[in-house]
């Protein structure tokens, strides 16, 4: 017998991946853990008979010859699969998008890639084989894909996730039903916790990133905390958040979210024995190992050691800067710009920056004789300079605030370079200048 299973606290990606495998490999039985997320539970209460799935206690382990594991690669995250762990006569396949290197399930075949949702890997294979899906199957697969990619908006989303979504929509996936189950049950208790977090935010700044740290004591089990933490980060406009939920006197669960490439919460949570992705991760920590204040200290220590060096203005500026004296004629300036293929020159006198002339300023010339006039008459005197250690994002803010495209870079009163809109855009879009 062939079975497919996934992790406890099953989310839609895990459930969709289980169901996807039962469709892709007919005859495979889906084994869904007893503990599933609240929204998955709600979905299963009305839909479970539509799929080839059973709970683990209904499984006859002796008959299993092949095990497919989806959305995890760790034994401890599976439900009641211990009986299979030591059997070497079972063929094991893994489909997963967690790349944290914690995997301890031995495998005969695996498909493990960085992608928004595990189910996208399975859908990619369905597309390849031309599998036809009915609207119900398409909808559950879309639920998994949308949940793990935030409707294709999370930074982890790849082109393959989008192709997978297109395929499911072609096969009749129902967006209304998907929306019904993806909108989390948001009740008073979640709202109270959100307000408590907003009131007690402790924010720390590391390398210009603002990180929120919170500790919340739970007096009962609360579902959908991950959704609340995600919402909290967005409302407070924090680059990353780490919320420690004290479950009881035995353990705490840290839920972390990041909205920037500069902070990899998955790597931090991995150090605490948990896991996840760069943007979303969690860890459960035993109190005897670390108390909640110690957890926060440890997170801060890990963040400091992780810190990636940001590019500074000095790294993206252009230099040397072409400078002309104020008596240069407009014709000469135009010739210099054409010869050097640049869009602006600074007008300087000694160390002093008097103004700037950019390509645009030539439009001011209406009469032929004006070409022989001094640049002084046409230059813009509005000069905003930046220091070399400023961040590119600050240069972009100054450009939009003052509506200017060139910022001289000044270090200790000396002009050392110039940063243009093109330099900033090139940096943000990761395009290498040619």
Q: Rank residues 98 and 209 by Cβ distance to Mn ion and give the closer one.
A: 98
Q: Which is nearer to Mn ion, 9 or 287 (CB)?
A: 9
Choices 11-19, 100-108, 182-190, 233-241 (CB under 5 A): range interacting with Mn ion = 11-19
Closer to Mn ion at the Cβ: 121 or 285?
A: 121
Q: Which stretch binds Mn ion (CB under 5 A): 7-15, 212-220, 223-231, 319-327?
A: 7-15
Q: Residues with Cβ < 8 Å from 271, sequence gap 6 or more?
A: 298, 302
Contact 12, 147 (CB under 8 A): yes
Task: Enumerate residues 6+ apart whose C-beta is below 8 A from 290.
Answer: 252, 272, 298
Half-sphere exposure of 278 (CA within 13 A, CB side): 15
Q: Of the two residues 2 and 10, which places its CB atom closer to Mn ion in the complex?
A: 10
How many angstroms from the chain centroid is the CA of residue 141? 21
Task: Check residue 73 for interaction with Mn ion (CB under 5 A).
Answer: no
CB of 238 to Mn ion, least distance (A): 24
Which is closer to Mn ion, CB of 148 or CB of 224? 148
Question: Residue 71 CB, nearest distance to Mn ion (Å)?
Answer: 5
Binding-site residue total for Mn ion (CB under 5 A)? 4
Shortest distance in whole angstroms from residue 429 CB to Mn ion: 28
Alpha-carbon distance of 118 to 111, in angstroms, equals 9
Which of 3, 7, 13, 238 is close enough to bind Mn ion by CB under 5 A?
13
Min dist. Cβ of residue 85 to Mn ion (A): 22
Report the nearest approach of Mn ion to the CB of residue 149 (Å).
9
- Within its chain, how far is the Cα of 220 from the centroid? 30
Q: In the complex, what is the shortest distance from the CB of residue 15 to Mn ion, in angstroms, rounded to a whole number?
A: 10
> Footprint of Mn ion on residues 107-126 (CB under 5 A)?
118
Return the number of the residue (96 or 264) whose C-beta is nearest Mn ion: 96
Report the distance separating Cα 357 and Cα 374, nearest Å.
Answer: 11
Contacts of 19 (CB under 8 A, 6+ apart): 30, 51, 53, 137, 140, 141
Of 54-62, 67-75, 101-109, 365-373: span binding Mn ion (CB under 5 A): 67-75
C-beta of 13: minimal distance to Mn ion in Å? 3
361 binds Mn ion (CB under 5 A): no
Strands 202-206, 66-70: pairing kind: unpaired
* Count of positions (residues) in the chain: 434
13 contacts 117 by C-beta, under 8 angstroms: yes
Candidates 137, 147, 148, 161: give the one binding Mn ion (CB under 5 A): 148
137 near Mn ion, judged by CB under 5 A: no
Q: How many CA atoms lie within 13 A of 318 on its CB side?
A: 22
- For residues 276 and 417, which CB has a smaller minimum distance to Mn ion in the complex? 276
Is 71 a binding residue for Mn ion by CB under 5 A? The answer is: yes
CB of 312 to Mn ion, least distance (A): 36
Query: Strands 91-96 and 66-70, how do they pair?
Result: parallel
Of the two residues 13 and 161, which places its CB atom closer to Mn ion in the complex?
13
φ and ψ of 357, to 5 deg: -120, 130
Runs of H (alpha helix) within 222-310: 225-236, 265-271, 292-306
Only one of the segments 145-153, 175-183, 369-377, 405-413 lies at the binding site for Mn ion (rule: CB under 5 A); that segment is 145-153
Pick the closer one to Mn ion by CB: 18 or 424: 18
In angstroms, give the least distance from the CB of 214 to Mn ion: 25
Q: From CA 33, how far away is CA 388, in angstroms rounded?
A: 55
CA-closest candidate to residue 181, choices 231, 136, 115: 136
Q: Smallest gap, in angstroms, from Cβ of residue 388 to Mn ion?
A: 42
Q: How far is the CB of 121 from Mn ion (least distance, A)?
A: 10
User: What is the three-class DSSP state of 306?
Assistant: helix
Q: Which stretch binds Mn ion (CB under 5 A): 9-17, 167-175, 200-208, 292-300?
A: 9-17
Are 160 and 53 in contact, with CB atoms under 8 Å apart? no
Answer yes or no whether residue 147 interacts with Mn ion by CB under 5 A. Answer: no
Closest CB to Mn ion among residues 118, 171: 118
Residues whose CB falls within 8 Å of the CB of residue 105, separated by 6 or more in sequence, listed in order: 69, 73, 74, 75, 92, 94
Residue numbers at the binding site for Mn ion (CB under 5 A): 13, 71, 118, 148
């Amino acid at each position: 017998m062939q079975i497919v299973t996934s992790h406890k606290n099953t989310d839609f990606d895990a459930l969709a991946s289980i169901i996807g495998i039962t469709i892709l490999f007919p005859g495979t039985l889906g084994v869904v853990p007893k503990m599933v997320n609240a929204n998955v539970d709600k979905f299963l209460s009305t839909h479970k008979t539509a799929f080839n799935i059973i709970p683990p206690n209904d499984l006859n382990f002796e008959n299993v010859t092949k095990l497919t594991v989806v959305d995890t690669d760790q034994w401890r995250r599976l439900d009641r699969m211990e009986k299979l762990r030591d059997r070497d006569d079972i063929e094991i396949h893994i489909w997963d998008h967690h790349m944290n290197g914690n995997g301890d399930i031995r495998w005969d075949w695996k498909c493990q890639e960085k992608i928004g949702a595990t189910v996208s890997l399975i859908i990619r294979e369905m597309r390849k084989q031309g599998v036809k899906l009915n609207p119900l199957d398409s909808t559950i697969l879309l639920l998994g894909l949308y949940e793990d990619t935030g409707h294709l908006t999370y930074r982890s989303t790849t082109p393959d996730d989008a192709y997978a979504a297109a395929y499911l929509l072609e096969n009749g996936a129902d967006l209304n039903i998907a929306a019904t189950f993806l909108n989390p049950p948001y009740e008073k208790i979640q709202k109270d916790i959100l307000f408590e977090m907003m009131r007690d935010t402790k924010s720390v700044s590391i390398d210009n990133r603002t990180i929120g740290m919170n500790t919340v004591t739970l007096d009962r089990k609360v579902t959908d905390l991950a959704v609340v933490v995600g919402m909290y980060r967005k409302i407070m406009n924090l680059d990353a958040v780490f919320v420690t939920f004290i479950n009881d006197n035995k353990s705490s669960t840290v839920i972390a979210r990041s909205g920037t490439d500069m902070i990899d919460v998955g790597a931090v949570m991995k150090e605490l024995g948990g896991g996840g992705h760069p943007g979303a991760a969690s860890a459960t920590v035993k109190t005897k190992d670390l108390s909640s204040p110690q957890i926060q200290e440890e997170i801060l220590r890990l963040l400091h050691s992780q810190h990636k060096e940001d590019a500074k203005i000095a790294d993206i500026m252009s230099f040397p800067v072409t400078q002309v004296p104020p008596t240069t004629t407009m014709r000469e300036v135009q010739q210099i710009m054409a010869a050097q293929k640049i869009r602006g020159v600074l007008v300087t006198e000694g160390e002093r920056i008097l103004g700037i002339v950019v390509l645009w300023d030539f439009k001011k010339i209406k009469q032929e004789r004006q070409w022989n006039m001094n640049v002084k008459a046409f230059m813009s005197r509005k000069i905003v300079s930046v220091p070399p250690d400023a961040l590119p994002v600050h240069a972009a803010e100054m450009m939009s605030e003052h509506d200017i495209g060139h910022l001289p870079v000044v270090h200790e009163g000396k002009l050392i370079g110039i940063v243009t809109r093109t330099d900033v855009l090139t940096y943000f879009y990761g395009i290498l200048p040619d």
